[in-house]
Amino acid sequence: MAEKPSHKRAKRKAAGRGGRVEVPLRRRRRLDARKKIRGAFRAEEIQRTGSRKAFLDAARKLRDSRSKIKILRTRQENMDKAIEAMRKAGVRGQVINMGGTKRKYVK
């Protein structure tokens, strides 16, 4: 399925000027964005759908990214599902809404 322009735009915004988009992971998977900040890598996965399976897949990608800072970016109404998926996958990180106004930490 082709990627929507809004998802492409969100990935480019997450990567920033010095970051990379579509970073390869093991098992033929790709991370949406990765950027180096103050000596540590920040991995960011954007998930716009509301399905629990998609959130779990995104959380597992973050887990396998080996980056120090892990961010799952989603719509505000789906933040609770994203937190639940990150806990289930055993990932510590942040869940942020698309606008960047709300942020929740998963420990």
What pTM did the predictor assign? 0.90
Q: Residue 50 and residue 17: Cα distance in Å, rounded?
A: 29
Task: Give the closest residue to 72 by CA, choosing from 7, 91, 53.
Answer: 91
Task: Give the closest residue to 40 by CA, choosing from 69, 14, 19.
Answer: 69
Which amino acid, residue 51? S
Task: Give the closest residue to 44 by CA, choosing from 53, 35, 52.
Answer: 35
Q: Residue 45 and residue 73: Cα distance in Å, rounded?
A: 6
Residue 101: phi and psi, rounded to 5, are -90, -25
pLDDT per residue as tens digits for the range 42-79: 999 999 999 999 999 999 999 999 999 999 999 999 99
- As a residue count, the chain comes to 107
Residue 1: its pLDDT value, please? 73
Which amino acid, residue 27? R
pLDDT per residue as tens digits for the range 6-47: 999 999 999 999 999 999 999 999 999 999 999 999 999 999
What are the residue ranges spanned by the domains of the chain? 5-106
SS3 56: helix
